A and B are shown apart, each in its own frame.
Chain A
């Protein structure tokens, strides 16, 4: 059951010198409902650009993006977006942040229980009235996640939500995401630099190359759940992906 289709998408931007950059070139893929897609590629390969097109924040110069057959023309609550640099509103408490989308969409009589449920699920209990700067980076990212999830989007776009976290907190948030994905079966697309993360979460992995940003390969993840980061299967698949990224041998 295909949900999102991305067809022949090109994105052309102009750099400071006014020169054309083909940020994305000839991007084609489909995402089925309930999938978890990991997109991996080096910095600057156009991952954020691609997510922005899917969310509707930007429009491609060429090609077409559709959700359930309808073209994407503008941002919509049905497509949640968790930004690369946690963009919780610093002037709202954790709880206010999480309910802000609901309030915007449903007015004052939004489902307050739902908010409490996700505060619980994300382990944010006790921090409802804290402001973003008062909680740790991991908590802030869980809250940003909750803020999008609580709107029950059909598609959730995650732009390196764990990029700024340390390895330990990162594992924690990864587990939270996986739990939410399993419980709600929301389609998710995750952008990341971290191979472990891509493998640990994704059902399929899109490997991208930079300049111009293209899809090198789409790999289906053979691992079953629950996944163990230290298992031999995991490490084997990790090496496969590493090879595809030409990444591994280190001394130069």
Chain B
């Protein structure tokens, strides 16, 4: 039974199957869902297996190292882990910012400089919101290690913590950020989504069209079967551009197929707005230059080792699939 089923797979799918930890209910995992639902994986000869996402980097890393996972889209927060030996490489930024630093409605904090001496809530030590905030703090001449203190809350509780006054500001991600803005009147201090090249944002170190999430591929796969890895990249590329063109339809698929759980707030209108704002597009060369920028920033902020050789780390962290087209 299973043997012939395998043969069936290899006949229909040139490169066999891949496993992607994607099913975590998040909106911006759209490329996984769309590549699967719209047949981009299949078209490129891949039988995709979408499974739960452990979210915890160390668990993901172990999954990649042991060959249980093949690809995933994730934030640039993986950089320190890669430096510590995680067997994954980024292959192009996949969409733009979904990270924001918010303050409650009546907060006296008006800009990054006001954050001095304040407590900032973040989902985890070493999470992207912490890094984004740190970059902005650095650009404002503040030391992210000394001038602010960080307090950890799980993502769903950050807004609550700020409302209760446990923290002065929160670094968070969409859709939680979007919801806090819309429903609870949180004000944005930092937004890493600088699609238009806003000068204010650029001053805070948010690059124009800067990638936020990357497509990550297992080192093992890149080394053992680069064609298959390329096929993955292609699938995501096609999915991303499809999403960019059809944000509304993407939102509908996410909600209808149960990738994202429906709530009063998480509806087609809001989800498609989030997707629209994120400007999905798998950009290979831009992704690399952004990553290089993040490496220098994180090193300066002390999140990477002091003796980091930027170019070496970039090589370790980035793979250019050199797609034919």
A and B touch in the complex (CB under 8 A): no
B residues lining the A interface (CB < 8 Å)? none
